[in-house]
Amino acid sequence: MDPVALLGYVAGAFTTVAFMPQLVRALLTKSTGDLSFPMLMMMFSGVSLWSIYGYSIGSLPIVVPNAIMAALLVALMLLRIRYD
Q: The domain that contains 17 carries what CATH number?
A: 1.20.1280.290
Residues 26 and 83: beta-carbon distance below 8 Å: yes
Question: For residue 33, what are the domain limits?
Answer: 3-83
Number of structural domains the chain divides into: 1
The rounded mean pLDDT for the chain is 94
Cα-Cα-Cα-Cα torsion 52, 55, 59, 63, nearest 10 degrees, comes to: 50
Whole-model pTM: value is: 0.89
Has residue 75 got a pLDDT over 90? yes
The band of 3, judged by pLDDT with boundaries at 50, 70 and 90, is very high
The backbone region for 58, taken as left when phi is positive above 0, alpha when psi lies in -120 to 50, beta otherwise, is left
Has residue 4 got a pLDDT over 90? yes
Has residue 27 got a pLDDT over 90? yes
Rounded to 5°, angle at Cα 75 from 69 and 80:
125
